[in-house]
Structure 1
Amino acid sequence: MAGVLDSVNQRTQLVGQNRLELLLFRLAGQQLYGINVFKVKEVLQCPKLNEIPGRSGVVRGVAHIRGGTIPILDMNQAIGRRPLEDIHECFVIITEYNRTLQGFLVRAVERIVNMNWGDIHPPPKGAGKEHYLTAVTEVDNKLVEIVDVEKILAEVSPVNETISAGVVEDGLSERVVKKQVLIVDDSTIARKQIQRVVESMGIRTTLKKDGREAIDYLRSIIADGQDPYNELIMIISDIEMPEMDGYTFTAEVRADPKLKDMFIILHTSLSGVFNAAMVKKVGADDFLAKFHPDELAKRVNDRVLAITGEDLLSENE
């Protein structure tokens, strides 16, 4: 186990090549699960856990790790199953999502596998609306389920989606009444969070679940004889997505003469300095570590002001 993540920090060369590496793990049974290595900070044997008053049922306790206190969530319980037993024999995967650290209790950690996002697929349509999968793939002829961690975290600790007063200019939506924001994200929870913030500003949205769907949608606008620049204010895209990741999607947009100037924000829970470098490399206009409603709203607000070419503040004075 000591060597499983030794080279995580050297794996950034995969980013931008529509590739990822999955850390495979198991819960109560033989089913294999996966999590993107870029979200993982550390894997360790489950340390001593301290209970906290009023905790969520899936939080088994907190652990003191590297000088900090981190909540430890039972992954098996979080996806609607029974709590893991004999947790002293379990492992904890320390992850960073949305600028916060948390640990996920799992039965066993297997290995890291190198994958192409083209081999990562959305969950089967018959899986229903309440499942906890964001994608599925196959490794050695075995199904690997990729858990929608953002859904788990939203249920354990719901995020604030309210925009603070003064962030959005008065009358903003009236300037772009015929335009919309394209939101691209494989997580249902993440898509809806962004959608609710943007629509609370009075701006319409279109939702797509991966880069392939998004690029097809943009090209369909052109095929219908419409100008995507007249239709869209901006594109807000996740990075981690099945079929086509956000970096590859951005590169595809920039390579298309009819789309190359679309305004793109990469909006992701992935952390690390490499993101800023990759944003520049693939030609995205901005990067936002999700999720913060004020920061998101300000980006949309500023973009609307930029494309309308008018200072709403001076008009309202």
Structure 2
Amino acid sequence: MKKDTGILLESGTNELEIVEFEVGGNRFGINVIKVKEIIQPIPVTQIPHSHPNVEGIIQLRGEVLPVIDMSMALQLTPLSDSKEAKLIVSEFNKQKVVFHVNNVTQIHRISWDQIEKPSDLYKSGASKIIGVIKRDNKMILLLDFESIMVEINPESGVQMKELKKLGKRERIHKKIVVAEDSPLLRKLLNDTLSEAGYMDVEFFENGHDALKYLESLAAASVAIEEKVQLVITDIEMPQMDGHHLTKRIKNHEILRKLPCIIFSSLITEDLKHKGELVGAEDQVSKPDIAELVLKVDQYIL
């Protein structure tokens, strides 16, 4: 399947395109931005004593890439040798990985405000679902691929040891607003920023809630820079993504003074222009937490 439906060229529209695929009879989605290509299955070399979710490795145009069995990762019906099976070659968090799925069906363009946050009634701490899309009398589950990779390789996640090398800093009176939908990442960011001396951090699950909070502060008489000194935002979030949040902040008469740093697994040389177009002061790729703290230091005086 070619990605020929017109990748979103304009930044900050609060839209995304997803590749819909099937695993174990369920429908899932992955952001098109993370997809390099979709290919037919090729022979996989098994690796002794590898993680149970790792099917093996393949060689693709000179690169050796790990193949993840998505039925194992999602604890669903095992994959079968179907002619419809596909390999989704992906890149995020500065790594390339291949996801083996039952089938790839189509590409959808949707708005982030059409994606519902998973309910606490069916979402557990180990859930890989970050959003639910209702479309044409069916549900598409948007997956947290970063958590799938961290489960296999914890070193691919945020690493506190790099932060400790930076030393302590006195920033206790500086306030930061963070928009991040992942509970795991919110905790890690809280621990990280506290370790770095930033004790006053307000967290929000999506850009919509963060913007409403900032707008309420802007409506008061006190100068906004006395209440908040910086905003950190993820990109992929239900209701409102980080690009749209940044655009709204930079288009706001009062909030535009706030420095915005985008902290996302989607920060690559090919995609940095999207953050630049919406006015972000800086962009840091997960999981470079030490670089994020250095950038925060730079913009908070």
Q: Which residue of 1 aligns with 2:276?
A: 280
Is 1:161–1:196's contact at 8 Å kept on the other side of the alignment?
no
Indicate which of 27, 39, 42 corresponds to 1:47.
42
Deviation at 1:115, TM superposition (A): 0.9
* Residue 137 (1) aligns with residue 137 (2): no
Give me the whole-angstrom Cα distance separating, in 2, the residues matched to 1:77 and 1:206.
Answer: 36
Residue 32 in structure 1 maps to residue 30 in structure 2: no
Q: 1:195 — aligned with what?
A: 190
Equivalent AA in structure 1 for residue 247 of structure 2: A
Give 1:168's aligned residue: 166
1:234 aligns with 2:225: no
Q: Is the 8 A contact 1:46 1:89 kept in 2?
A: no
1:77 equivalent to 2:72? Answer yes
Q: Which of 50, 58, 65 matches 1:63?
A: 58
Is the 2:259–2:280 contact (alpha carbons within 8 Å) kept by the matching residues of 1? yes
Q: Give 1:219's aligned residue.
A: 215
Q: Shift of residue 160 of structure 1?
A: 5.0
Tell me whether 109-118 or 176-185 shows the greater mean CA deviation.
176-185
Offset, 1:277: 2.0
Alignment match of 2:260 (pick from 258, 264, 277): 264
1:181 paired to 2:179 = no
Equivalent residue number for residue 13 of structure 1: 9
The partner residue of 2:110 within 84, 106, 115 is 115
- TM-score normalised according to structure 1 size: 0.86
Aligned-residue RMSD, C-alpha = 2.2
Q: Is the 8 A contact 1:183 1:195 kept in 2?
A: no
- Structure 1 residue 146, shift from structure 2 partner: 0.3
Give the corresponding residue for 1:315: none
Shift of 1:53: 2.6
Residue 155 of structure 1 is matched in structure 2 by 151
How many angstroms does 1:288 deviate by?
A: 1.1
Q: CA deviation at 1:289?
A: 1.5
CA offsets, 1:263-298, max 9 Å, x none? Answer: 100111114445332222211100112111221221
Structure 2 unaligned blocks of 5 or more: none
- Report the CA distance shift for 1:144/1:166 in structure 2 as closer, same or farther (over 3 A): closer
- Matching residue of 1:100: 95
**C-alpha distance after superposition, 1:147-178 (max 9, x if no partner):** 111111111111351243785354x2x3x312
The answer (yes or no) to whether the contact 1:50–1:62 under 8 Å persists in 2 is yes
Contact 1:46 1:87 survives alignment (8 Å): no
Instruction: Report the counterpart of residue 313 of structure 1 in structure 2.
Output: none
Alignment partner of 2:57: what SS? Answer: strand
Q: 1:152 to 1:225 in 2, by over 3 A?
A: farther
After TM superposition, the structure 1 stretch with the greater mean CA deviation from structure 2, 145-154 or 121-130, is 121-130
Return the alpha-carbon distance in structure 1 between the equivalents of residues 203 and 286 of structure 2: 17
Deviations 1:79-116 (Å, cap 9, x if unpaired)?
23343233786211111110100011110000111111
Q: Distance in 2 between matches of 1:27 and 1:153?
A: 17
Normalised TM-score (structure 2)? 0.90
Greater percentage in helix = 1
Q: Secondary structure at the match of 2:236?
A: coil
Amino acid at match of 1:24: E
Residues in 1 aligned to 2:235 and 2:270: alpha-carbon distance in whole angstroms = 12
User: SS where residue 9 of structure 2 aligns?
Assistant: helix
**Counterpart AA for 1:109:** V
User: How far did 1:194 drift?
Assistant: 2.6
Tell me, in whole angstroms, the C-alpha distance in 2 between the residues paired with 1:160 and 1:117: 25
Deviations 1:196-247 (A, max 9, x none): 3212213222211111011012123345665542333321111122211111
